[in-house]
């Protein structure tokens, strides 16, 4: 199963649902539809209405983040995994580089993953090296640390997806070379197998994916799908990515 996940970040109002509706209409008729899953992570404000609209359809809804506590607490503006699940989401991103740069620590990420899974949300756990790590040839060690600090065998690997998003690639138009990305994905899967045993959870790539460069990414068989930011705000651009992936 492949994944195409659209991360809207701070984008969208109720009527933006027409973007998802167009993607849904495409998916309904796509001969390849059984091969992949489409998930969108709109802002918190839209999760409930979008999840209701797509309840019996194929598009799944997730949140972009969750708070590191279980249900209710006295943290102003915080939204817990329990609250997210209760309004119909099935997934949550955890550890997106935007949130890491805003202060997500390993201890917080560990709790986020734990409580999200406890509340039956599947977790898309984001990792990625920054420009300086890459320049210093630290990519592999940084990714290893990000994985082993948070993920552990007792977690349900069937509910975990890892998204590899080099920070220097997010929103910049810059992407890794095919060889680089293949080696890195294999490295990530090797670590995941060490943590979880035989079969690795799915590993996605994220960072400036578009309808054009996906033709290169599709040649890397180790990649199980994509986390798509900018291009997910346009139905046409998002659909082009899927079309060109299966072309
Ligand atoms: C992201 O923010 O997760 C992302 C991949 O963004 P973009 O596709 O715009 O690089």
CATH of residue 86's domain is: 3.20.20.70
Check if 227 has its Cβ closer than 6 Å to any atom of ligand 1.
yes
Whether 180 is a known active-site residue: answer: no
Given 27, 96, 129, 187, the catalytic residue: 96
Residue 56 has pLDDT above 90, yes or no: no
Given 27, 129, 165, 187, the catalytic residue: 165
For residues 116 and 67, what is the distance between their CA atoms, to the nearest angstrom?
Answer: 9
Q: Please tell me the distance between residue 111's alpha carbon and the centre of ligand 1 in angstroms.
A: 24
Domain span at 29 = 2-246
Check if 206 has its Cβ closer than 6 Å to any atom of ligand 1.
yes
Whether 96 is a known active-site residue: answer: yes
What number does the ligand 1 atom closest to the CA of 232 have? 8
Q: What angle do CA 19, 171, 69 make, to 5 degrees?
A: 75
Closest CA to 245 of 57, 93, 228: 228
Reading the block at residue 160, the tokens are: 């975990």
Check if 230 has its Cβ closer than 6 Å to any atom of ligand 1.
yes
What's residue 72's pLDDT? Answer: 98
For residues 217 and 209, what is the distance between their CA atoms, to the nearest angstrom?
Answer: 9
Q: What is the pLDDT of residues 119-166, one digit of tens each?
A: 999 999 999 999 999 999 999 999 999 999 999 999 999 999 999 999
Q: Residue whose CA is closest, atom 4 of ligand 1?
A: 229
What's residue 69's pLDDT? Answer: 98
Q: Please tell me the distance between residue 83's alpha carbon and the centre of ligand 1 in angstroms.
A: 25
Task: Tally the domains of the chain.
Answer: 1
For residues 159 and 177, what is the distance between their CA atoms, to the nearest angstrom?
Answer: 29
Rounded mean pLDDT of 221-236? Answer: 98
For residues 17 and 44, what is the distance between their CA atoms, to the nearest angstrom?
Answer: 14
Q: Please tell me the distance between residue 104's alpha carbon and the centre of ligand 1 in angstroms.
A: 18
Q: What is the pLDDT of residues 66-120, one digit of tens each?
A: 999 999 999 999 999 999 999 999 999 999 999 999 999 999 999 999 999 999 9
What's residue 24's pLDDT? Answer: 97
For residues 56 and 144, what is the distance between their CA atoms, to the nearest angstrom?
Answer: 38
Kindly report the average pLDDT of the chain as a whole number: 98
Residue 245 has pLDDT above 90, yes or no: yes
Check if 209 has its Cβ closer than 6 Å to any atom of ligand 1.
yes
Contact residues for 234 (Cβ-Cβ < 8 A; gap 6+): 19
Q: What is the pLDDT of residues 17-29, one digit of tens each?
A: 999 999 999 999 9
Distances (CA, A) of 167 to 95, 97, 133, 134, 155: 12, 7, 10, 10, 26
Rounded mean pLDDT of 170-197? Answer: 98
């Amino acid at each position: 199963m492949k994944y195409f996940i659209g991360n809207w970040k701070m984008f969208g109002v109720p009527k933006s649902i027409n973007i998802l509706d167009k993607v849904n209409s495409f998916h309904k008729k796509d001969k390849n539809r059984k091969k992949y899953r489409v998930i969108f992570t709109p802002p918190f404000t839209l999760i409930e209405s979008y999840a209701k609209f797509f309840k019996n359809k194929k598009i799944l809804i997730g949140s972009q983040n969750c708070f590191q506590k279980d249900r209710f607490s006295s943290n102003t503006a915080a939204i817990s995994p329990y609250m997210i699940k209760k309004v119909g989401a099935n997934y949550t991103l955890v550890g997106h580089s935007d949130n890491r740069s805003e202060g997500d620590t390993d201890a917080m990420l560990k709790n986020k993953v734990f409580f999200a899974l406890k509340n039956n949300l599947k977790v898309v756990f984001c990792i990625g090296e920054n420009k300086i790590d890459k320049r210093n040839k630290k990519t592999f060690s940084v990714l290893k640390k990000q994985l082993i600090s948070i993920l552990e065998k007792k977690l349900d690997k069937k509910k975990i997806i890892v998204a590899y998003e080099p920070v220097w690639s997010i929103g910049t138009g810059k992407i890794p070379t095919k060889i680089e990305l293949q080696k890195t994905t294999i490295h990530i899967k090797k670590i995941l197998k060490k943590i979880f045993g035989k079969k690795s959870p799915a590993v996605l790539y994220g960072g400036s994916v578009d309808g054009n460069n996906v033709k290169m990414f599709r040649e890397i068989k180790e990649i199980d799908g994509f986390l798509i930011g900018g291009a997910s705000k346009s139905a046409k651009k998002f659909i082009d990515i899927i079309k060109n992936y299966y072309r």
